[in-house]
A = this chain, B = another copy of it.
C-alpha cells in the first residue's frame, strides 16, 4: 500500500508544537475581552468559542500549517468524492451523502420512501418500540430527546420506547408499560445478526405469543432497517424494509435510514429533513481550508492539542440544555469507537496518544456532581460546554439563570480563584475550556451539532493518521462469549474459570 498519509507527529511542525506546549502561559493571562470576541467562529446554526482553550496565536498558526501539510481538507474532499478512505475495510465513507442537499444519489430515493412510509405510520400507530443497540440506538435516542419538545409544538409526536440491552430487564420493563396494540416495532440492525437485537426480538415474540399475537402478526407491525441482502431483508415477512449502506458505520448512521425511519415516524418527515439540512450546512462549512473559519476543524485541532500535547487524557462534555442530555452518550460512542485506536491507517503500531476518555453530563446537574473534581482535582480533563442562546421555551427566568451559570463556570474553569490564605478554597483555573453555543435548539441546529462532532472526529482521525471508520476490537469479546456456548469446546481456561465464578450454580459467594 502506498503510505501517502502522515500524522501530526510526523509533520514538520511537531517539534515546534511540543516546544510551545512546554512554555504555555496560564490561560487566565491570555484571555481578554478581545480574545473572547476574536477566538470565536460563527458556523451554521451554532458558534464555537475557544478563548478558554489553552492555545495561542502561534499555536493556531502551526495548526494552519499542519492543516495544509497534512492535506486535511483534501482528505475530507476525497471522502466526499467516494474514495475508499476506510482503508482497513476497503470501503468508502458515505455518511455525508445521506444529508447532501446537492447530491441526488442513492439516498434521495430511500428518503422519499421513508417520508411516504412515515406519513402512513403516523396515521396508523400511536407509539414506536425501537429495538437496536450501539449505532442503531444511541444516536436516534439522543435526537429523539433533543427534539421531542420542539416537535410537539407543531405536530403530534409518536412516543418512542427504546430497547437495547441484552439484559431482559430492559425489554420487560418497557413492555410492562405498554400494549402491542397500535405499536409499530422498528428492528434496527445493520448486520441483522446483532446478538442483543436478535435476543430482544425473540423475547418480544414470546411476549406477543403469550398475549395471543402470532409471530406473523407481529412481523406485519414491524419495520426493519438493515443491510440489503442481509438475513432480515425479507419483504414478505415484515411491514417494510429500509436499507443502510455498508459504507456507513453504525455510529455515523444517524442521518441514514437508521435515524431516518424512527425519527420521521415519531416527528414527521419534515422535521427529519430539516435535521439533515442542518447537518449538510455544517458539512459544507467544514470544507473551509482557513482554520479560523472552520469550527469542526478548530475543535479537532484543539482536541488533539489537549490530548497529545498538553497530556489531558479526558474530555468532559457538558451541555447546558436539558434536552441534549443524551448527546453525551452518543458522542462517547462516536469518539471512543472511532478514535480509540493504537495503529495507523496502514496497520503500523503508533506511539502517540489517540482519542481521549469522553465523559460528562448535563448542566446544571453536573455542577452538583463532578464539577468539584474539574475545579480542584488533578487537571486531567479538558472541558467542552454546550449551550443555547435562546431557550426553546417561552421566556423563563430559569433559562437566564442557566446561562448565567454557564458563563460563571466557564470563567471559573479558565480563571480559577486565588486564596493564598486558605488553600482549601483555591481553584487553580487553567482548565482548557471551549464552548459550543446553539442559536436555539431546533432540527437544524441539532443536525449541525451532530455533523460538527462527526467532522471533528474525522479530522482528528486524519491528524493522528488513524482509521476512524472501523472498530476491530468489538470482535474479540464476541468470539470469547461464543466459546461459552454449551455446544462449543471451551478453549480458554481463564475464561472458563471466570465464568465458573460468576455462574449462579456455583457456591463461591
Contacts and interface: CB of A to CB of B under 8 A. Distances in A.
Given A36-B501, A389-B509, A424-B470, A411 B378 contact: no
A14 interface: no
19 contacts: A33-B494, A47-B508, A165-B363, A167-B398, A337-B370, A339-B373, A343-B423, A343-B424, A355-B373, A358-B370, A359-B359, A372-B472, A375-B473, A387-B502, A407-B495, A408-B477, A408-B478, A411-B495, A437-B502
B392 A342 contact: no
B368 A474 contact: yes
A284 to B, nearest CB: 18
A37 interface: yes
A427 interface: yes
A166 B349 CA distance: 46
Interface string A342-362: 110001110001110111011
Given A138-B369, A313-B378, 9 more contacts: A165-B364, A166-B364, A167-B399, A169-B393, A172-B393, A355-B377, A390-B504, A408-B479, A411-B480
A498 interface: yes
Interface stretch (A61-69, A218-226, A235-243, A412-420): A412-420
Given A329-B369, A471-B372, A501-B36, A401 B199 contact: yes
A389 B502 contact: yes
Interface string A298-335: 00000000000000011000001111000001001100
A2 to B, nearest CB: 18
A459 B325 CA distance: 32
Report the 3 A-B pairs with minimum CB-CB distance, sorted nearest first. Answer: A134-B368, A340-B373, A340-B377
A366 to B, nearest CB: 9
A129 B179 CA distance: 25
Contacts of A138: 369
A437 B504 CA distance: 10
A170 interface: yes
Given A133-B365, A428-B342, A169 B195 contact: no
Interface in A10-59: 28, 31-33, 36-37, 40, 42, 46-47, 49
B504 A321 contact: no
Given A169-B393, A428-B342, A31 B203 contact: no
Given A165-B362, A336-B377, A370-B340, A425 B393 contact: no
A467 B138 CA distance: 38
Given A371-B473, A476-B417, A165 B484 contact: no
Interface string A390-406: 11110011110111111
A343 B377 CA distance: 9
Contacts of A363: 165-166
A304 to B, nearest CB: 13
Contact of A343 (B195, B426, B475): B426
Contact of A313 (B313, B392, B474): B313
A15 B42 CA distance: 53
Contacts of A484: 404, 407-408
Interface string A195-207: 1100110010000
